[in-house]
Structures are given as structure tokens and as C-alpha cells.
Amino acid sequence: MYRSRAKKVLSQNYLMDMNLTRKIVRGAGVQTGDWVCEVGPGPGGITRAILETGCDRLDVVEIDQRFIPPLVHLAEAADDRLHIHLADVLKTNIGDLWGKEGAEPSVQWSDEPPAMHIIGNSLFNIASPLFTK
């Protein structure tokens, strides 16, 4: 995909079967109006399925700069819902991504805030540190 080989050191594997990625996103409970942070989107297989749900905001945190161009391509078609962060998720405060100027959900104080999800294809070499973070 995009002439990029998976890097073993980053525990990369690419999920591009849309039937499978849709099942993953459904299983995560992502729905219209939700906010999502995807860890390690790679070329964007799960990203596409998340965007199909009609989520209000999707932040992706990708450490491998090779995947920024395909993610930018997706962002251009996502009506300002996809926000790309070139960063190490273990050094990123996901709450800060959602707390930036213009990122706060615009709801009345009496309304329910949107559901927020963190999703990603399991990255074996960082799974334990990420889950304990």
C-alpha cells in the first residue's frame, strides 16, 4: 500500500479490508456524533471506516511520516472532521488533542457531551505502556 513496507520495529500491519475494518469500528461502538482518537492509522483502513460512521471529530496519531500524505488525502475529503498528528502516542496527551482551541464539543451545559473513543489496530510493542497510560 503506497509502496510502504511494514516496519517490524513499529509493529505495523495494515488492515485494508473494509468489511473487517467496519466490523472493528462497529465493535468499538463508534456512532454518528462521537469523537474518536485513532492510534497508528497507517494508510487509513480503519480511518475510512471511522469516518463512514459520521463521527464529529477524528484525531489520528501517527508516528510514521510515510503515512501523512494518504492521511492528508483522506482529510481533504472529510469535511474538517479528520485531524492528523505526527507524534508518538506514548508522548501525547490525548486529552490535550481534544482540549485545544476550537476542539471542545459545542454543547449546552445541560446536554450530554459526545461519546469519546480511543481505537487502533493493536501495536504489540506499545500495547502495555499505552493501556497503562
Burial of 7 (0-12, 13-18, 19+ CB in 10 A): exposed
Q: Annotation-wise, does 95 bind a ligand?
A: no
Q: Annotation-wise, does 52 bind a ligand?
A: no
Q: Annotation-wise, does 96 bind a ligand?
A: no
Q: Annotation-wise, does 93 bind a ligand?
A: no
Q: Annotation-wise, does 88 bind a ligand?
A: yes
Q: Annotation-wise, does 121 bind a ligand?
A: yes
Residue ranges at the known binding site for S-adenosyl-L-methionine: 13, 15, 40, 62, 88, 121
Residue ranges at the known binding site: 13, 15, 40, 62, 88, 121
